[in-house]
């Protein structure tokens, strides 16, 4: 227990950084606030030189209050994504129209989308037919024929 008597701001800053590193691995946001509490105690210890008992009480109080505040904020905030298809590239193409770059033969063809080529599935159609993407199955776009070019 003797080391507690010699707690310096550097100990608290080290604890804050260590907690931040753990937070980066875990990603829960709760350790972020405990790290924030350690950082505040470091500043207060540096400015006022408070006793180790006061440091522990202050650290505990700030940690609990900040974690509860984050929890209450997290309950109320809107977690609906503004871009639900951000990491679903194929889903972004549903509803768009394209020209066939390879004819659909036996239900399978290809289209050029931006800088890539996508496999499509639909009714047989000749080259340059306009198709509309109506769904996606894995990495294959399901298309409906709209007409010739």
Report how far residue 67's alpha carbon sits from residue 46's, in angstroms, rounded to the nearest whole number: 24
- Confidence (pLDDT) at 28: 86
φ, ψ for residue 76, nearest 5 deg: -85, -25
Report how far residue 144's alpha carbon sits from residue 27's, in angstroms, rounded to the nearest whole number: 42
- Confidence (pLDDT) at 78: 86
pTM, rounded to two decimals: 0.58
Sequence-ordered list of residues with C-beta below 8 angstroms from that of 113, at least 6 positions apart, any chain: 93, 98
Sequence-ordered list of residues with C-beta below 8 angstroms from that of 130, at least 6 positions apart, any chain: 97, 98, 99, 145, 146, 147, 148, 149
Q: Is the pLDDT of residue 1 over 60?
A: no
- Joined together, the tokens standing for residue 40 give 């505040």
> Over the stretch 67-122, which tens digit does the pLDDT of each residue have?
999 999 999 988 888 888 788 888 989 999 999 999 999 999 999 998 899 999 99
> Over the stretch 32-62, which tens digit does the pLDDT of each residue have?
999 999 999 999 999 999 999 999 999 999 9
Q: Of residues 4 and 27, which shows the higher confidence score?
A: 27
């Amino acid at each position: 227990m003797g080391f507690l008597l010699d707690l310096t701001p550097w100990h608290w800053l080290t604890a804050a950084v260590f907690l931040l590193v753990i937070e980066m691995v875990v990603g829960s946001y709760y350790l972020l606030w405990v790290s924030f509490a350690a950082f505040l105690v470091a500043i207060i210890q540096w400015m006022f030189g408070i006793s180790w008992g006061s440091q522990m009480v202050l650290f505990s109080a700030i940690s609990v209050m900040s974690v509860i505040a984050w929890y209450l904020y997290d309950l109320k905030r809107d977690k609906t994504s503004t871009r639900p298809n951000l990491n679903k590239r194929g889903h972004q193409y549903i509803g768009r129209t394209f020209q066939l770059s390879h004819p659909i033969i036996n239900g399978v063809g290809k289209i050029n989308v931006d800088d890539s080529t996508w496999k499509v599935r639909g009714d047989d159609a000749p080259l340059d037919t306009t198709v509309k993407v109506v769904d996606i199955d894995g990495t294959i776009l399901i298309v409906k024929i709209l007409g010739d070019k």
